[in-house]
Structure 1
Amino acid sequence: VRFSRRKDLLRDGYRCQYCGEQFAPSLLTLDHVIPLSQGGKTQWDNVVTACKTCNIKKANRRPSEAGMSLLRKPKAPPIVYYLHLLKNIQGYHGSWQKYLFSND
């Protein structure tokens, strides 16, 4: 699954991975657990959803350096998760049904 801001927010349920509060997408940021300046990369296992307050508090540090902890370790979501989301989206062609969703 290719990384994107939208997919990261979906994976984390629009919830800050530091304080646990849920926010509207416009109030959320993406945080590099290991900052880019410390060799971190923009990939699933290093980026989490964070509210602006927590992202500012963490700054350019690792969570442990900022006295913060993650609700859960970030990882790539399984493709099945996105197939489930697709099932609830209208507009896919009916002929896709047998390929996307089993026994429905």
Structure 2
Amino acid sequence: MAWTNGTSRTSTPAWARIRRQAIARDGNTCRQCGISGDDARLECDHIVPVAEGGTDSLDNAVMLCTHCHAVKTRAESNRGRERRRQRGLHPIEQHPGLL
């Protein structure tokens, strides 16, 4: 999933270069399910999220189709919520806007 509200770390020329290199290395296919970039949209993803200690490097980049990327992102979000909950940074009560 790409950020749409302003400039992000993955919209820099350096990340664009890493993305091109990852496409060439991965043969323009999803490394998870093997679908071709000709048949589906591919996204360049961090193997280890930056929030979990990953870096912006080719060694930490992988091409995933939108479906595989969404599944991986949901799992990472769940882990992040659990980390915040364990540190006491996740509110116990429901947000008032959701009542």
Q: How does 1:1-104 map to 2 (within 5 A)?
A: 3-24=17-38, 27-59=41-73, 61=75
TM-score by length of 1: 0.51
Distance 1:6 1:26, change over 3 A: farther
Kindly report the root-mean-square deviation, in angstroms, between the aligned alpha carbons of the 2 structures.
Answer: 2.5
1:26-76 C-alpha deviation (Å, 9 max, x unpaired): 8110111101111101112111011010000001656xx8xxxxxxxxxxx
Query: Normalised by the size of structure 2, how large is the TM-score?
Result: 0.53
Give, in angstroms, the shift of residue 5 of structure 1: 1.2
| Identity across the alignment (%) | 32
Q: Which runs of 4+ in 1 moved over 6 A?
A: none
Number of residues of Structure 1 aligned to a counterpart in Structure 2? 62
Show structure 1 runs of 5+ residues with no match: 66-104
Q: Secondary structure at the match of 2:63?
A: strand
- Return closer, same or farther for 1:47/1:25 CA change in 2, 3 Å cut-off: farther
| Structure with more helix by fraction | 2
